[in-house]
Every structure is written in C-alpha cells, then in structure tokens.
Structure 1
Amino acid sequence: MIMPETELRSPLRELLSELTPTVVICALILVGFILVVLFAPLIAPYGEGEILTNDSFALQGSEGKAQPGSTLLLGGDFLGRDILSRLVYGARVTFSVALAISLLAFLLGSTIGFLAATIRGTADAILSRIVDALISFPSIMIALIVVTSLGSTFTVLIITVALIDATRVFRVARALAMDIIVQDYIEAATVRGEGLGWIMWQEVLPNALGPLAAEFGIRFTYAILFIAAL
C-alpha cells in the first residue's frame, strides 16, 4: 500500500493561509503609515515650514480652503503653509517620538519586571508596591506636572512618558516571568550554575517574547494618543 505524500508547508505559507481580510487591511494601513514616515520628504509636496507665496496659495481663498485650480489638496493655513505637507511631517515626528517612548518603556519595564520575578522575596514586594503606587496616580496629571516643571522638550517628553508606560510593562513582564520561572528548564539552568542575567535573557525573555510583542503594539498606540493629549 502506497502512503499518500504529505505536503510540507513552510512557515510563511502557513502564515499567509491564516490571514483574514481584517488582518490584511490593518497590515496595509500600517505599512502605508510606515512608508509615509520613512519617505516624508519625498511624499510631501512642500517643506514642513515652507511658506508659499506663489499662485498655489493665492487660489486658496480667505479661509485657506482649496479652490478650483489649486494645487494644494488640503488647502493652506493662514501663514501660507501647505496642510498636507504639515500632516506628513507631523506623522513622522509623532511616529518617531512614540517609537522612542515604547522602546525605552519596554527596556526599563521588562528588565525590572524580569528581575523582580526572578529574585522574588522582599525586592519583588518592594518593586511591586512602588509600581502600584505610581499607577494609582493619573498618568496625564504626572506628565503635565513634569513637563511643566522641566520644559516641553522632546527629551523630557520621551523620558517622562516612557517611565509612566514602564510601570504597565513591568506588571506584564513580571506576570509572564512568574509563570516561566517555575518551569523545569529554569530549575535545570539554576542547577547548572547559570547566573541571574543568563536566566533572565536566555530563558525568560525568549519564552515571553510573543506576549511582549503584542503588548508593544498596544503601548505604541497608547503612546501616540498620550503625546497627542499633552
């Protein structure tokens, strides 16, 4: 009896077979947004702060609305700047700041969360209580106080929002690590004499990478909304 041949499916083919129309649409929107951010100077018809004094702006009307024959698709503002160009460059700044916030928040939150779950004991309890206390305060209020006191520079904004977001990442990372460190392979690594850092980054992190990646997308979205609120 001849057994039927089993078709070997590559991981890429399996991934493509599971894509739904909703996922495809969302992916296209995300890719389009990233392309706009990366190629903003090529996409924007004018410079970010360029003031137009030619016929393009003359056709806008008194309220900056595009008139027939105008080359400004979204009109211009009262200073003569192209709205479309400013939106494209604004998306670039927002994306860059939100990405920096998310990366810094995950670097701090994941490291401290893994550390607390791995060493446990008194240090874990103290870190958890500190994070709980910080989360109990309204995030927007803390950010406004810090930004008002230290100035509204990009550096202050990124560090402030990243520290606020790091408290949320800490709880997720700690919860994931608490489930991982009780596994047999963690005990085996401890018996082998592996250090704390090796266990955190070679054993805990690879097994927590999937949920953390999903959380990164959520935190990135929240970062965009948060800096817009400020």
Structure 2
Amino acid sequence: MNRYSINEFVNKTQQQDKGEGLFELETPRLLEINLNGKIWAKAGSMISYRGQIKFKREGVFEHGLGRMMKKALSGEGTALMKAEGNGKLYIADQGKKISILHLNNDSIFINGNDLLAFETELNWDIKMMKKISGMIAGGLFNVKLDGTGMAAITTHYDPLTLIVTPESPVYTDPNATVAWSGDLQPEFITDVSFKTLIGRGSGESIQMKFSGSGFVIVQPVEEVYFTQS
C-alpha cells in the first residue's frame, strides 16, 4: 500500500513541464497538450485545463456533406471536439495507455475508438468497413490520417506492432486491431470451420488479413464498441 503525507503526495503527483512540445505524456495514461491554436480531440476526453481554451463539438456540416454521410452510415462510436485557445489541456480515455505518433508525410489508419487527439494540420477522413458493418458489436470504422503532424492513440495495456511483408501476411481480430500503415488494405475473412466448432458467431470467426508491406498495431484486449449520441 502506498502511503504518503499530503506534501509527499503532492510532490510525487504534481504536474511537471517536460518541454516536449505540443503533445506531452504527463503520465502513460494522461496526455498534456500545450495548446496555442487548435487541435482535434475525442469528445468527452477533457479532464482538466488551465488558460483560455474553448471547446466546440464537431459541426454536422463542418467537413462537408460527404463526410457527414460517412459518419451517419458508419454508426461510429466516436465524436470529435475542437479545442482552441491558449493554455494547458489534459485529456484521457478510460485509463487507456497513450502513444504519441509523429507523422512525417505519412499515412495511417486508426480505429476510430482508439484515436484520442491529432493536430489540425493533418488531413483526415472516415473509412467505413462495409463488409464487416453490423457483424461486430457496435460496428467498426476507422479514420485515415495523412500529412505531417502529431496524433495520439490509445490502447488497453501495451501495444504490439506486427510487421507485414509480402511473404508473411498478418491476421488479426478486428476488436483487437488498433491501427495499420496507410499502404495496407485489410481483407475480411470468415473462418466458417472455427465458427462451427465453437457454436456461436464470435469475433474470432471474423478476421482481418493484412497483405503487402507495412505494419499493424494490436492490443491485448478485444474491445467492444458502444455508439455515442
């Protein structure tokens, strides 16, 4: 059991400036954003801030009719908010571990539920998983980010990155798949024999197959997604 005096606890847990720039991990599960402008973040992720910061939920027509229709059809479980101003913003998502990715003219697909925040300089678009929609609890969609800037993703516990080569494709459980490199296009496979063996339609009977050259990020938890209004 950890026991502290009040002063010891404050000294151990107080916020510290590490001078790491816009995105800074205050703890492995808490992201500090040194805001001087605006960023996109997962709606409801703010836990604290100081300074002059305003929050605005993503507008229905803010990104055009096409993207609005994609959001409606995908049944996505995540909405975005825009944080704008000057100050320190602290965000988190259910105690999940946070990783900061630096994109340098790169492209990456991220499960919409695992995207915590990203710079507005990055281009983004919603990509629906048409062939798997409705087959997994809560549905499944992802966000494609490309360009140069920072993004923060979340995982339950430590993520694992698997390298995909033309000689060695990678198969994953969709509910445990967090992100993959932009050059990869997953193929969905239904394992009928395994489905029959276990006697029910579980997530394991549906697999994502990644072929080509790139990487896939997975987490050691099969996450169930819930749609938010």
TM-score, scaled to structure 1? 0.19
TM-score under structure 2 length normalisation: 0.19
Normalized per residue, the structure richer in helix is 1
